[in-house]
């Protein structure tokens, strides 16, 4: 051993001595003191030695490898390692080699910047030091040897030191410390000396990188310390790191960021797993210095602290105020955790001391349900905020779900599923709903109601009323029908089960039908309300019908079913879709396009408004809690919106849960803990509403700015300097918005375009805007004065102009002209644009982009996929090839190297196409968003080309990892609370600007959760 160590010591010194200045040696005790004193005894491993078998032409069988932070290079040591050569003061050399070395046998660290400031040690299987030596060797000045620092005639062992290796660092400690301290890493489960340790714990994370930041007054983060979490034999030893408690200031805020690591208790059962689970994600914790000190060794960075961080990071980055931030933190904490430390108060200590093993049942309900899902997402490197929802179950019905009724026992949901008729779903396990049966009603199923005994379903199916026997839910059968002159929208059943009340879509109003003989239903009476009747609900005593009639609320006396009469009406400013009545019959809750109106109906002849609440989107339906204090509304933009109606004069928002589709109908479970939503093309969605006050709209947190336009925002481009956004705003034309402050966009001006602005492009050369003007073709506007844009010229194409792009010189406009294919227009004279070329594609041209050299146009051609067109001669464009993607292509963008095209694929998501050989484009991969309720209209790429941001209608902005184009994966989504139609990124990739068809301009911070 002594011979081997002497060889290694000499080689190590020769290898590094040329980097170092000359110096002198120190006594053993001083060396040990210096090692412990410097850097708190913690060092990066500089390199290591490993035994390796080489060819017989050399006697050396050792390699030396620089640690990864020095480049990871490996060298073969050369020379004779025999003791005789050592005694002859033999000189060794080295040469770089391309091999993967064997596992390390001896490690090196530098504790002092002198020729002999090096430590050599070996470790056992658990990373604990077995032997520690002071490295000695040839002095580069005197050329003399110094193996024996203390002059005792033996190799210089540092027996007073122990150590523990974690990752690429080592922590030295006094060998006199307890054995339990020695068996843990840089810190044990309790304080070592004056060190206070925290734990990184999804399950316990070994070898994770920890960075501790100070949060500055402006919300920026200043890195202070880097740590690595410990390994060990037991969970108590794993995941520890120095929290630097003694160095924290009481009134400052700090961020703990834990990245990566090996999870040794992935299921949080308190038992060390046989094999670790690799963590690819990040968990963070933010708290004030004095609170961190109170938590001390009980501090844990967990999935709970990460969720709370994600809920407050927007406040930190954009509106950080130390004076009120503790309240911001507290408001998030009480939504997620319960009283962890049993002190009678839910506060910041309950977040700091949350133990995923022992406290998993001390979370509020939805976070308890989602706990393991959140951990799994973090393991995969995902950001929980971009996935989190109160949704607990989902079933894609295949049609377009409009309304829903529940069986009396709450085990089955009956869905009016548009053209797919009636769909029956088993919801006995709300997390895994499954289809039982269906019945094709031949018409469009808009609504469904059940008989009191649950044996019959009454379906408003567009063409009339269908009565269906559902006693055998696997085989429902038609009993009878009643056809009306116009479409039937809604149906309600009388308490005695002898009559149904249906709303007629042709201004007939309300129809009353006798269903005592279900095989032969007959008309009893009707009431013409001079409006299209959408929905009906009955009073508890069965004497009145309340009808949402498009323009407001109609109250009808139905005591004489053969002669119903109008009692009174209340008209609203927005169209009315739905109505619900309070249990006591004194209030009607009317859902109109603007939100909720609460109406006093004590006097049915003179209903009056009590209060109202406006939502972001178009509200569709409403259900009331059994105690009458909450209204559950479906909203086209926000999914499920929950409103406190305890004070009818002042209804207030409790929370919302965005759904992927277009939320139409809603029904509550009997116990009020679940909401069942008919979510349009997304089918059935089940949301846990047991604690709605605890919902956090994580997906909306990254939405930092918005401007609600008067029209329908369909396309967007940015000015060269990124300070202005130009939005194609439907009938309102072109809107110009100041986005120099992305948190507060303001409109500069707008200009009509003489048509319906659907797409927009800018000329950087001549300061003109070119608008794809739908049925009016092309419009050109002078935008040199952004406060006063003026129309310059028009060109009416033969088709419907959807999208537009300009040539690099700004002299030609390429228009995706729907059924007319590609149109090329000379815009050199903006007052008189003229068509110079045309190619009629096989499909419907929705979107277009050009190659960088302007010789090829890539057209998103609807059901015919991607069309590649040679436009090198703009007068005679010709098709090079096409690529069928199986669904409807709406938008296209190219990679920076123009080797790949990314196609927004309608209701199917994203398709990636290899276009290196334009004559033979081939599909590389795709990410399927079918069944999620969105429509992929457009796509933008991150600057590094690894992420695709898809404008996916009601799904908002969907983020897809495309670093492996053959296997794209979902990274999450950002909610826009509307219908995302187009997206463009800022030059630095920080912000996404979204043209939201309903919500106008939306600005998203893409870096908020990083």
Determine the Cα–Cα distance for residues 301 and 220; give it in Å rounded to an integer: 20
Query: Which two three-digit tokens encode residue 678?
Result: 């008919």
Residues 6 or more apart from 782 whose CB is under 8 A from it?
A: 767, 768, 789, 790, 791, 792, 830
Determine the Cα–Cα distance for residues 973 and 915; give it in Å rounded to an integer: 28
Instruction: Out of 13-17, 131-135, 212-216, pick the least confident.
Output: 13-17
Q: Where are the beta strands (DSSP E) in 628-723?
A: 630-635, 639-644, 652-657, 665-668, 674-678, 684-688, 703-707, 715-718
Give residue 90's pLDDT.
Answer: 41
Q: What is the model's pTM?
A: 0.76
Instruction: Out of 192-206, 360-374, 430-444, 885-899, pick the least confident.
Output: 192-206
Q: Environment class of residue 541 by beta-carbon count within 10 Å: exposed (0-12), middle (13-18) or buried (19+)?
A: exposed
The 10s digit of each residue's pLDDT in 597-635 is 999 999 999 999 999 998 877 888 999 999 999 999 998
Q: Where are the beta strands (DSSP E) in 331-446?
A: 391-395, 403-406, 412-416, 422-426, 434-439
Give the side-chain half-sphere CA count within 13 A for 54. 21
Kindly tell me if the per-residue pLDDT of 339 is higher than 70. Answer: yes
What percent of the chain shows pLDDT beyond 70?
86
Residues 6 or more apart from 656 whose CB is under 8 A from it?
A: 635, 638, 639, 640, 641, 642, 695, 697
Query: Which residue in the block uniquely carries the two structure tokens 């974690």?
Result: 166
Determine the Cα–Cα distance for residues 175 and 170; give it in Å rounded to an integer: 15
Residues 299 and 292: beta-carbon distance below 8 Å: yes
Give residue 531's pLDDT.
Answer: 75
The 10s digit of each residue's pLDDT in 930-963 is 767 779 999 999 999 999 999 998 889 999 999 9
The 10s digit of each residue's pLDDT in 563-585 is 999 999 998 876 788 999 999 99
Give residue 88's pLDDT.
Answer: 39
Question: Which residue would you say has higher pLDDT here, 2 or 650?
Answer: 650
Give residue 637's pLDDT.
Answer: 72
Kindly tell me if the per-residue pLDDT of 460 is higher than 70. Answer: yes
Residue 514 pairs with which residues in a beta bridge?
499, 522
Give residue 179's pLDDT.
Answer: 36
Residues 6 or more apart from 523 whose CB is under 8 A from it?
A: 482, 511, 512, 513, 514
The 10s digit of each residue's pLDDT in 190-226 is 344 458 999 999 999 999 999 999 999 999 999 999 9
DSSP secondary structure letter of residue 508:
T
Q: How far is CA 455 from CA 448, 465, 476, 836, in A?
A: 13, 16, 10, 67
Determine the Cα–Cα distance for residues 167 and 205; give it in Å rounded to an integer: 12
Instruction: Out of 332-341, 523-532, 756-765, 937-946, pick the least confident.
Output: 523-532
Q: pLDDT band at residue 22, thresholds of 50, 70 and 90?
A: very low
Mean pLDDT score across all residues of the chain: 86
Determine the Cα–Cα distance for residues 592 and 694; give it in Å rounded to an integer: 27
Average pLDDT over residues 848-875: 97
Instruction: Out of 28-42, 96-110, 227-241, pick the least confident.
Output: 96-110
Give residue 680's pLDDT.
Answer: 86
Query: Which two three-digit tokens encode residue 143?
Result: 């050329």
Residues 6 or more apart from 287 whose CB is under 8 A from it?
A: 253, 254, 295, 329, 348, 351, 352
Give residue 910's pLDDT.
Answer: 96
Q: pLDDT band at residue 760, thresholds of 50, 70 and 90?
A: very high
Q: How far is CA 936 from CA 72, 576, 892, 954, 961, in A?
A: 44, 30, 11, 10, 16
Give residue 999's pLDDT.
Answer: 85
């Amino acid at each position: 051993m002594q011979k081997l160590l002497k060889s290694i010591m000499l080689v190590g010194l020769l290898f590094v001595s040329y980097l170092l200045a000359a110096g002198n040696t120190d006594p053993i005790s001083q060396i040990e003191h210096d090692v412990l004193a410097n850097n708190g005894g913690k060092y990066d491993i500089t390199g290591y030695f490993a035994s390796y078998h080489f060819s017989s032409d050399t006697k050396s069988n050792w390699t030396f490898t620089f640690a990864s932070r020095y480049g990871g290079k490996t060298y073969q040591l050369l020379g004779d390692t025999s003791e005789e050569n050592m005694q002859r003061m033999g000189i060794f050399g080295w040469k770089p080699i391309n091999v993967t070395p064997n596992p390390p046998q001896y490690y090196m660290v530098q504790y002092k910047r002198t020729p002999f400031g090096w430590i050599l040690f070996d470790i056992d299987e658990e990373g604990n030091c077995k032997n520690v030596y002071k490295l000695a060797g040839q002095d580069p000045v005197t050329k003399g040897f110094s193996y024996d620092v203390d002059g005792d005639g033996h190799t210089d062992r540092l027996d007073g030191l122990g150590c523990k290796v974690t990752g690429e660092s080592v922590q030295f400690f006094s060998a006199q410390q307890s054995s339990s301290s020695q068996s843990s890493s840089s810190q044990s489960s309790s304080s070592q000396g004056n060190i206070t340790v925290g734990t990184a714990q999804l399950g316990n994370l070994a070898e994770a990188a920890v960075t501790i930041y100070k949060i500055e007054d402006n919300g920026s983060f200043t890195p202070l310390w880097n740590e690595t979490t410990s390994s060990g034999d037991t969970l108590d030893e794993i995941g520890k790191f120095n929290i630097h408690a003694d160095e924290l200031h009481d009134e400052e805020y700090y961020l703990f960021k834990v990245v990566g690591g090996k999870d040794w208790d992935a299921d949080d059962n308190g038992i060390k797993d046989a094999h670790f689970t690799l963590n690819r994600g990040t968990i963070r914790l933010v708290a004030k210095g004095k609170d961190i000190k109170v938590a001390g060794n009980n501090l844990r960075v967990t999935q709970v602290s990460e969720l709370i961080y994600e809920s407050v990071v927007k406040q930190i980055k954009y509106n950080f105020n130390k004076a009120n931030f503790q309240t911001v933190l507290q408001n998030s904490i009480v939504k997620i955790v319960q009283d962890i430390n049993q002190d009678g108060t839910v506060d910041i200590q309950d977040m700091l001391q949350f133990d995923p093993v022992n406290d998993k049942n001390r979370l509020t309900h939805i976070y308890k349900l989602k706990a393991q899902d959140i951990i799994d997402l973090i393991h995969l490197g995902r950001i929980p905020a971009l996935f989190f929802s109160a949704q607990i179950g989902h079933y894609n019905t295949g049609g377009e779900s409009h309304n829903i009724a529940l069986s009396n026992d709450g085990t089955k949901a009956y869905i009016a599923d548009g053209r797919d008729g009636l769909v029956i779903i088993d919801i006995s396990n709300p997390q895994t709903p499954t289809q039982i049966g269906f019945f094709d009603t031949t018409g469009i199923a808009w609504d469904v109601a059940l008989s009191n005994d649950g044996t019959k379903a009454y379906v408003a199916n567009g063409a009339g009323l269908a009565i269906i026997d559902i006693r055998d839910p696997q085989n429902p059968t038609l009993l009878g029908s009643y056809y009306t002159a116009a479409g039937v929208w809604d149906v309600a059943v009388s308490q005695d089960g002898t009559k149904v009340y249906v709303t007629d879509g042709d201004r007939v109003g309300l129809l009353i039908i006798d269903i005592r003989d279900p095989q032969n239903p007959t008309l009893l009476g009707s009431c013409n309300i001079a409006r299209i009747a959408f929905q009906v609900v009955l009073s508890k005593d069965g004497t009145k019908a309340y009808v949402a009639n498009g323009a407001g609320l109609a109250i009808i006396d139905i005591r004489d079913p053969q002669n119903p009469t109008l009692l009174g009406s209340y008209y609203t400013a927005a169209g009315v879709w739905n109505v619900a009545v309070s249990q006591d019959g004194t209030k009607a809750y009317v859902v109109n396009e603007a939100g909720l109106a609460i109406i006093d109906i004590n006097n049915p002849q003179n209903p009056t408004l009590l209060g109202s609440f406006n939502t972001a989107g178009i509200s569709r339906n409403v259900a009331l809690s059994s105690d009458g204090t909450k209204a559950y509304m479906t909203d086209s933009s926000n999914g499920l919106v929950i409103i406190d109606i305890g004070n009818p004069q002042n209804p207030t928002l409790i929370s919302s849960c965005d759904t992927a589709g277009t939320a139409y109908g809603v029904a509550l479970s009997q116990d009020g803990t679940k909401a069942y939503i008919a979510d349009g093309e997304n089918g059935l969605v089940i949301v846990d509403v047991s604690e709605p006050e605890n919902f956090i709209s994580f997906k909306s947190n990254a939405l930092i700015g918005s401007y609600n336009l008067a029209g329908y925002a369909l396309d967007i481009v940015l000015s060269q300097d990124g300070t202005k956004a130009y939005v194609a705003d439907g009938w309102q034309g072109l809107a110009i918005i100041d986005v120099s402050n992305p948190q507060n966009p303001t409109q500069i001006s707008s200009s009509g375009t003489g048509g319906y602005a659907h797409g927009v492009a800018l000329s950087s050369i001549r300061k003109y805007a070119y608008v794809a003007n739908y049925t009016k073709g092309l419009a050109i506007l002078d935008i040199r004065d952004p406060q006063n844009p003026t129309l310059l010229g028009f060109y009416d194409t033969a088709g419907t102009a959807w999208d537009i792009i300009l040539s690099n010189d700004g002299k030609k406009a390429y228009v995706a002209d729907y059924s007319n294919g590609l149109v090329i227009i000379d815009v050199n004279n903006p007052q008189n644009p003229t068509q110079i070329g045309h190619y009629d594609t096989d499909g419907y041209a929705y979107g277009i982009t050009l190659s960088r050299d302007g010789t090829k146009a890539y057209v998103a051609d609807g059901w015919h996929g991607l069309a590649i067109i040679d436009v090198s001669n703009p007068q005679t464009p010709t098709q090079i090839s096409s690529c069928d993607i199986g669904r409807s292509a709406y938008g296209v963008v190219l990679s920076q190297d123009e080797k790949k095209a990314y196609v927004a694929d309608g209701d199917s998501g994203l398709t990636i196409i290899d276009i290196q050989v334009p004559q033979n484009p081939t599909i590389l991969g795709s990410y399927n968003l079918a069944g999620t309720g969105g429509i992929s209209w457009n796509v933008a790429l991150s600057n590094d080309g690894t992420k695709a941001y898809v404008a996916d209608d009601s799904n908002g902005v969907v983020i897809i990892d495309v670093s492996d184009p053959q296997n794209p994966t979902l990274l999450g989504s950002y909610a826009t609370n509307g219908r995302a139609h187009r997206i463009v990124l800022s030059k630095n990739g920080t912000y996404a600007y979204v043209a939201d068809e309903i919500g106008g301009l939306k600005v998203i911070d893409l870096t908020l959760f990083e």
